[in-house]
Amino acid sequence: MPKTNLTEQKISSYSLPTEASWAIKSRKSALNWLETTGLPNRRDEYWKNTDPSYFNTIKKPERNKIDYVENSIFENIDRINIVFEDGYFNASKSDELLLKGIEIDTISVANQKDNHWSANYFGVLEKSSQVPVERTLASLNTAFAVEGLAIRITDKIDKPISITYLHSNDTSDVLIHHVIKIEKNASVTILESGGVASRSNCLMEVFVCENAEFDHVRVQGRSHEKIAVTHLFANLLKDSSMKSFTLTVNGKSIRNEYVVDINGENSKAHLGGAAVGDRGFSQDDTIFVSHNNPNCESRQVFKKVLRNGAKGVFQGKILVKDGAQKTDGYQISQGLMLDDDSSFLAKPELEIYADDVICSHGSTCGEIDNAALFYLTSRGIPMAEAQDMLVLAFLNDAIEEISDESIRTIIGSRLKDWMVKRHKS
């Protein structure tokens, strides 16, 4: 892809921060990749179904209307709360960051320090994930993001760390970069919720060490105007596990990319997502899971409910490298269309170089089951409510991917509330 004018314009709208030499080096490397490779465009294989111009343009995004009224969906959970407001870390609204088993710094602090632990991790997974598919919106993030957290977990942490992104009614356009390292035998749950900004580009690099566990649940804000691109890069060492679930309701264009590298035996990576959208909604999950070692398991369970001309995109790949025997890979993507105007575009892929593996992938696209609808209504359940029950039932498989029951319940009831509100509006 040639360097374009657009890329130059975008780059010139940011400036590189002055930081420790390691940070400058990482940022320059990302910038160099972005300059030579250019921002994504519609001719790129993995951008055929989602218009990248929402993310590429330097034009100010529109104001988002709904998000600010939303407190964190997780506010009733006992948690460590960290607040970002319009993309900036807000210390006064956040809980104390000095905790046993947890080291947290903002990246603006971490990247100033000559020998911060994150020096060997910042931008590393982003960089290694640029091949075979370029992800230059992530390079842009590594080059210029000055907000975000560097979190190091050294113990089993019971309380979830909840990152709340408050967003006021403005036209913020932000980059956030988190680096998370979960040390050997440690575990943590990270919750993310809120609208972030009118337009956001959020990136998370996660290093899951031996026998460590990473649990991640993310709820993207409810605004219809929001534009968001996210990247979750994860590296798993042996006997480790990760689970990540994302709920997306509404938005103009949301693209969630996942790159998971399984680099040790007996590790597990489960990714799940539920998306619900109305008119003008475009939501894209682009996933790349790489099995590099034997005896590992991966799951991708993604469900989308679309109505009034909404669009859902799923591009999911499982790569099983030579020698990754006994891999158990599973992938399902399903679109439920509530009318004829909506569309679900799916590109499920398997690439397998080992001969003793179980890998399955499926993708379906359908409408509400009329027989089930009649069954429910014939028992006295009104049509709208019966339809909601079936929509929730459809999403249930994805929600089941969340391991914590109380969080699962919160997500389920949020979806229910949303549907009831929809009927009233």
Partner 1 sequence: MLYINNLNVELEDEKKKILNGVNLDINAGEVHAIMGPNGSGKSTLSYVLSGKDGYRVTEGSATFEGREILELSPDERASLGLFLAFQYPVEIPGVGNMTFLRTALNSQRKSRGVEELSAAEFLKIVREKAKKLKIDAEMLKRPVNVGFSGGEKKRNEILQMAMLEPKMCILDETDSGLDVDAMKLVAEGVNALRSKDRSFLVITHYQRLLDHIVPDVVHIMADGKIIKSGGADLALEVENNGYSDLLAEYN
Report yes or no: 248 and 202 within 8 Å, Cβ to Cβ. no
Cis peptide bond upstream of 132, omega within 30? yes
91/393 with CB nearer partner 1: 393
Report yes or no: 274 and 360 within 8 Å, Cβ to Cβ. no
90/413 with CB nearer partner 1: 413
The distance of closest approach from Cβ of residue 408 to partner 1 in the complex, given in angstroms and rounded to an integer, is 13
370/425 with CB nearer partner 1: 370
Should residue 392 be labelled a site residue for partner 1 when binding is judged by CB under 8 A? Answer: yes
Report yes or no: 359 and 329 within 8 Å, Cβ to Cβ. yes
35/385 with CB nearer partner 1: 385
Should residue 397 be labelled a site residue for partner 1 when binding is judged by CB under 8 A? Answer: yes
Residues 344-383 that bind partner 1 (CB under 8 A): 369-372, 374-383
Q: Report the chain's terminal Cα–Cα distance, integer Å.
A: 45
- Per-residue x/- track, 28-67, partner 1 (CB under 8 A): ----------------------------------------
Q: Which residues of 84-120 are buried (b: 16+ CB within 10 A; e: fewer)?
A: bbbbbbeeeebeebeeeebbbbbbbebbebeebbbbe
Nearest partner of 77 among 236, 153, 190, judged by Cα: 190
The distance of closest approach from Cβ of residue 222 to partner 1 in the complex, given in angstroms and rounded to an integer, is 23
354/376 with CB nearer partner 1: 376
Should residue 403 be labelled a site residue for partner 1 when binding is judged by CB under 8 A? Answer: no
The distance of closest approach from Cβ of residue 392 to partner 1 in the complex, given in angstroms and rounded to an integer, is 7
Quick one: tokens of 249?
A: 């309701």
Say if residue 217 is exposed, middle or buried (CB neighbours under 10 Å; 0-12, 13-18, 19+).
Answer: buried
Please state, in angstroms and rounded to a whole number, the distance separating the CA atoms of residues 345 and 341.
13
Q: Which of 390, 403, 404, 408 binds partner 1 (CB under 8 A)?
A: 390
The distance of closest approach from Cβ of residue 409 to partner 1 in the complex, given in angstroms and rounded to an integer, is 13
9/413 with CB nearer partner 1: 413
| Site residues (vs partner 1, CB under 8 A) | 369-372, 374-383, 385-386, 389-390, 392-397
